[in-house]
């Protein structure tokens, strides 16, 4: 297939990810909400044995056929915050099918980068063995104490089911249970709206037997509130890239805010509603302080903003609202 990297998509050309159809209201949400607030009481070993993460290849830039997609580069404040990784000069931690770059002062990921192959997704039993990454000192990671006896979920940044593909699916699933790959999120936030968005993207990749490259991370703000020594992000973003059947690269971006979900963590943590939006890749890059290279050229929202000078966003209430 010839990849059309010179094509510049517009907002008008973007189409719904799926055709809208009636659904049974609330059936999936109820199941997810029933799990809200549940925290794992059991822990596996808190860190891998030395050397057990050796030979992980991580994110592949050439995963999308004909469309080379490098890791985003931290810029501005983020460039100075990258946690050093012994033996590397880029701060990159490689796992099976994904890579992570950490923030030294925040002790959380700046971003994760995942390759997802919808053609070879498979079901793997949940290992649930959360542990520290031995390549970094424990003081540089937000460990189990942050999540003990409170409503905070260990929110996977790289979702375990999205990493479960190919011959190394079981190892990939286990790799997602490192504290480097999670961030504190309120249970309803993690298990309802954001999880729903990930469900839609995962099923889309599975049904179309498609390859995706997915970047995920928090928005670090000066106003983020501190809890047990960790400044808790109130917003998260996701950027998804793929090559369509017509050979045209496509990129879309999403953001969800939990600033009003932090009710039960103490004084000053208020409760309210939250929403998920599709936004421009260019806007996410600015908020996250990341350089995605030329990726925003393949996003209709970004091109519309450049052409009109108007910020574009659309609320995501279901899969029919996603446009690619």
String of DSSP letters for 41-80: -----SBPPTTTTTT-----TT-STT---PPPEE-THHHH
Architecture of the CATH domain 59-321: 3-Layer(aba) Sandwich (3.40)
Contact 98, 36 (CB under 8 A): no
| Radius of gyration from C-alpha coordinates of the chain | 19
27-42 pLDDT tens trace: 443 333 333 333 333 3
Please state, in angstroms and rounded to a whole number, the distance separating the CA atoms of residues 62 and 65: 7
Whole-prediction pTM: 0.84
pLDDT of residue 182: 95
Taking alpha carbons only, the member of 275, 281, 276 closest to residue 305 is 281
**pLDDT value of residue 271:** 33
Distances (CA, A) of 18 to 28, 146, 193, 226: 18, 38, 18, 40
* Under-50 pLDDT residues of the chain: 21-45, 49-50, 262-264, 267-273
pLDDT at 12: 65
- Would you list the DSSP string of 198-214? HHHHHHHHHHHT-EEEE
Instruction: Kindly state the tokens that stand for 214.
Output: 């997915």
- Listed by start position, the domains of the chain span 59-321
């Amino acid at each position: 297939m010839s990849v059309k990297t010179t094509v510049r998509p517009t907002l008008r050309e973007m189409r719904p990810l799926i055709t809208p159809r009636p659904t049974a209201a609330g059936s999936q949400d109820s199941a997810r909400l029933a799990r809200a607030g549940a925290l794992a009481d059991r822990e596996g070993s808190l860190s891998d044995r030395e050397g057990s993460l050796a030979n992980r290849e991580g994110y592949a830039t050439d995963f999308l056929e004909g469309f080379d997609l490098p890791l985003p580069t931290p810029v501005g404040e983020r460039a100075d915050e990258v946690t050093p990784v012994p033996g590397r000069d880029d701060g990159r931690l490689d796992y099976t099918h994904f890579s992570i770059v950490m923030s030294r002062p925040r002790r959380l990921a700046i971003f994760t980068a995942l390759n997802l192959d919808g053609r070879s997704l498979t079901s793997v039993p949940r290992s649930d063995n959360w542990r520290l990454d031995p390549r970094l000192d424990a003081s540089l990671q937000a460990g189990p104490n942050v999540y003990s006896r409170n409503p905070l979920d260990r929110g996977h940044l790289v979702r375990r089911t999205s990493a479960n593909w190919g011959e190394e699916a079981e190892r990939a699933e286990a790799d997602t249970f490192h504290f480097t790959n999670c961030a504190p999120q309120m249970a309803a936030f993690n298990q309802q709206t954001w999880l729903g968005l990930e469900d839609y993207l995962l099923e889309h990749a599975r049904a179309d037997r498609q390859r995706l490259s997915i970047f995920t991370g928090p928005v670090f703000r000066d106003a983020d509130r501190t809890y047990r020594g960790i400044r808790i992000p109130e917003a998260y973003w996701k950027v998804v890239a793929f090559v369509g059947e017509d050979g045209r690269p496509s990129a879309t971006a999403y953001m969800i805010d939990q600033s009003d979900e932090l009710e039960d963590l103490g004084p000053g943590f208020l409760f309210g509603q939250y929403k998920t939006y599709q936004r421009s890749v260019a806007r996410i890059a600015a908020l996250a302080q990341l350089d995605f290279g030329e990726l925003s050229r393949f996003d209709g929202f970004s091109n519309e903003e450049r052409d009109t000078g108007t910020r574009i966003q659309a609320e995501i209430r279901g899969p029919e609202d996603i446009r690619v």
